[in-house]
Structure 1
Amino acid sequence: MHIKIKKIHTLFVISFVLAICLGSFYCAKADSEDEISEDTQKKLEELKKKAEIYRQIVEIKEKQGESISNQLYITEANLNQVQTQIELSTRQIEEYNSQIIRLESQIKEKETLIESQKKLLAEIVRGYYEVNQGGLIMAYLSKGNIASFILTKNRIAQTGDKIRDIVNSITEIKNQLKEERDAIDKKKSEIAKKTQELKDKNSNLESLKKQREVLLVQTKSEEERYRKLLANIEEQKQQL
């Protein structure tokens, strides 16, 4: 009986010790699991914060890309408009040049005609002078050709007057042609100035277009980089 009680006591002690050991083991395991869970949670929170930052950056880059694309579209439209204006101005200048060349030719023709009429007038004046010389007058009078003398003199005078009228008319036409030429030349200068301004504007727009194209490529590249970073973060979150 005594021996049986002793065995029971021994078994009780052993059971108690085992219970304590098992309790300690499970407590330690639970603490370890809590520590792991807490560490994982911290990492998860950090990854979520990074993911949110990257997501916002991606959205910003998307909006920047859209804005730059719109600006690039507007720049290209302006470029096309300016280039069209340059083409029109260039054709206008060519037309003015043709008109100026034509007028210059007409002016030279009038000048040549004026010179020939002046020479003819000089010959008439010389003849008129010769008719009025004393010797010729006496010759006419001695032959009794007073009427012929007066008629010749009048004809010379009338011819001279007509030639003067012709010269004056041609001179007036020449002056009108010069005025027309000068007016066209002025318009040509104005168009040429405007064309140069358009060419300068075109160069500026070309430069702006290249800058925006480069900026768009950079923005798209940055957007893609942050998309990859975001995807990497999401993958890390799945692995936790």
Structure 2
Amino acid sequence: MKLRSIIVDDSSMQRMAIARLVNNHPNLAMIAGYSNAIEAINGIKNHEVDLIFLDVEMPIINGFDLLESLDNPPQVILITGNPEYALKAFDYDVTDYLQKPITLARFDSSVKRAMAKCERAQRMSEEDVYIFVKSSLKKHKVVINDIMWIEGLGDYIKLVTNEGNIVILSTMKSFEKQLPKYKFLRIHKSYIVNLERIEKFNRKNVEVEGRQVPVSRRKKIELMEALNNI
């Protein structure tokens, strides 16, 4: 995941310094840099923006004025040389506050916070996401979060859910494309598991709701990495 980012700062030197940090970060994508709030407001209307690096002290319209003008602002990391703005910053529900001069470690910490906030919001928005599947000539509504695991049965797959099992005509590969990647992982040629439902695991199995699901040897490292990221 990359956060689409803009920089708003009246100092060209400061914009260049932040742009360097943004361009060198694997989780950020630079969209544009603006020298004043009016340009930024127009830019936000015309682009999808996930994160604003925003200077507080700008002439005519300062950073706080800009935030007040936005109906649904993206995440904001405020930047200023004046520590007195720190408390006021959080009245605006900003993600973080960076004080000049900005260190790489502090910048990376702010981006991590923005990434975590983005992922939480994404998960909340997917809480009630559902799909319709066809089984026994009927269509069934299945809430994605209710799926514990998927088991391959030749030309069919079995969805093991909170409400019971549903067998549908599909390949594992085809059904896997409908699932959010951060939540589900194929841990065996015949099993895809909901990572958030795993209670414990060992070299050979994961345990979900007290039941064992096998893990292939080549998927062990990928599983451990995925569990560390949820």
TM-score scaled to structure 2, two decimals?
0.19
- Name the one with the larger helix percent: 1
- Name the one with the larger strand percent: 2
TM-score scaled to structure 1, two decimals?
0.18
1 or 2 for the larger relative contact order (CA 8 Å, sep ≥6)?
A: 1
